[in-house]
Amino acid sequence: MPIHLKPGREKSLFRRHPWIFSGAIQRVDEEPASGGTVDLLSSKGDFLARAAYSPQSQIRARVWTFDDEPVDVDFLRRKIKSAIHARETWNLKRDTDAFRLIYAESDGLPGLIVDRYDDVLVLQSLTTGSEFWKETIADILLEETGLSTIYERSDADVRELEGLQPITGLLRGSILHSPLTIHEHGLKFTVNLAEGHKTGFYLDQRMNRLRVRELAKDRDVLDCFCYTGGFTVNALAGGAKSVLSVDSSADALELVSGNVASNGLPAERHARLEGDIFQLLRKFRDEGRAFDMVILDPPKFAPTAAQAEKAARGYKDINLLAFKLLRAGGILVTFSCSGGVDAGLFQRIVAASALDAGVDAQIVEHLAQASDHPVALNFPEGAYLKGLVCVKR
């Protein structure tokens, strides 16, 4: 079914950007099925792309292909095989048995996230297009990976914008061991597929966790928003003098202690604290506490650019307090995973935080998501994770 764009609104497609917003559409011939395939035509009737239709989303169409080719089982198989082959080329299994297999638009499969945790695949369907083809995609995934189990975690908030209800549970096969244990750079972690954040673990931080391990030796470390302890465990494995893990979830902190113990790390060097991070950072400041390394890995403050101003205040608050808690020569490892806050804005926020804290600091490294979360050059929105390593002078 064709969708006709307004004059001049095809420019983004010429740049091969995969999204068409509702305001760009002149008319829709008939009403396509939710998630069904549509042809995007210029105002003159020229073919531009083939896309999935989302009648309730502001992003009304997401491009499958810019070529005049059918979107069918063979098409999906080619895309999935290409994504799997790329991960094999990067030799991820050398370092871990848990990694992202398919990263949505960046792999040419809009709205589809697939993570592999050892012998279990975890699938997130975030859009009507991926939902429309979900059963077919599940069959292809098992055929191409040789695995038998897919757990679905289609419970992200963005599904509501697509008019979709949250869905979680087994999609294929069965899980024999729950929770799962995964391995990363010689360490092991417990993963709760059913209730954990995202698909169970923050796979995108894999290389950044290793970097923290390399920097943590002989330091007193404060790990904020620690979740299940990826940075905590790596800091201890790197020879940190002490690590204080802070999170608002008691259940997450239990998993932190379990991960510390299962890796044979010294429990006497580890402490945990449950509470609101903003309040605890102020409390530490008022008590005159100090650390050699502070890690800030907060949840998403600004999913969209419209929320960036409010998010900026939150990021500035925690980074300002972190700078105040650092000893001279101390390291701040700070992140934003908010899509509405780009790298330039995040750097300006951290700079303003240092200024207001009355400290001099240097950026010594820029951090980003791991290579199994690639960023397509025609889709810069895929670069969501921004990280800075700063040294207080």
Unique residue bearing structure tokens 């087994």: 170
In the predicted structure, residue 140 carries a pLDDT above the cut 70 = yes
* Residue 222 phi, psi dihedral angles, 5° rounding: -110, 115
pTM of the model: 0.94
* Residue 357 phi, psi dihedral angles, 5° rounding: -80, -10
Which residues are annotated as catalytic?
337
CB atoms within 10 A of CB 162: 22
DSSP-based helix, strand, coil % in the chain, nearest 5: 35, 30, 35
Q: Domains of the chain (ranges plus CATH)?
A: 2-65 (2.30.130.10), 73-180 (3.30.750.80), 202-392 (3.40.50.150)
Q: Supply the pLDDT for residue 71.
A: 98
Q: HEC profile for 254-296? A: HHHHHHHHHCCCCHHHEEEEECCHHHHHHHHHHHCCCEEEEEE
* Cβ atoms of 71 and 64 closer than 8 Å: yes
Tokens of 196: 């954990």
Say how far apart CA 70 and CA 85 lie, in whole Å: 22
Q: Supply the pLDDT for residue 273.
A: 97
Write the pLDDT tens digit of every residue in 244-277. 999 999 999 999 999 999 999 999 999 999 999 9
Mean pLDDT (the chain, rounded): 95
* Cβ atoms of 331 and 219 closer than 8 Å: yes
In the predicted structure, residue 303 carries a pLDDT above the cut 80 = no
The region of weakest confidence among 33-47, 165-179, 205-219 is 165-179
Helix/strand/coil for 160: helix
Beta strands in 18-87 (DSSP E): 19-21, 25-28, 37-41, 47-53, 59-65
Contacts of 298 (CB under 8 A, 6+ apart): 224, 225, 277, 314, 315, 318, 335, 336, 337
Residues 9-34 have a mean pLDDT of 95
DSSP state of 75: H
In the predicted structure, residue 102 carries a pLDDT above the cut 80 = yes
DSSP state of 220: E
Give first-to-last CA distance, the chain, whole Å: 61
* Cβ atoms of 201 and 187 closer than 8 Å: no
Helix (H) / strand (E) element for 167: namely: strand 167-172
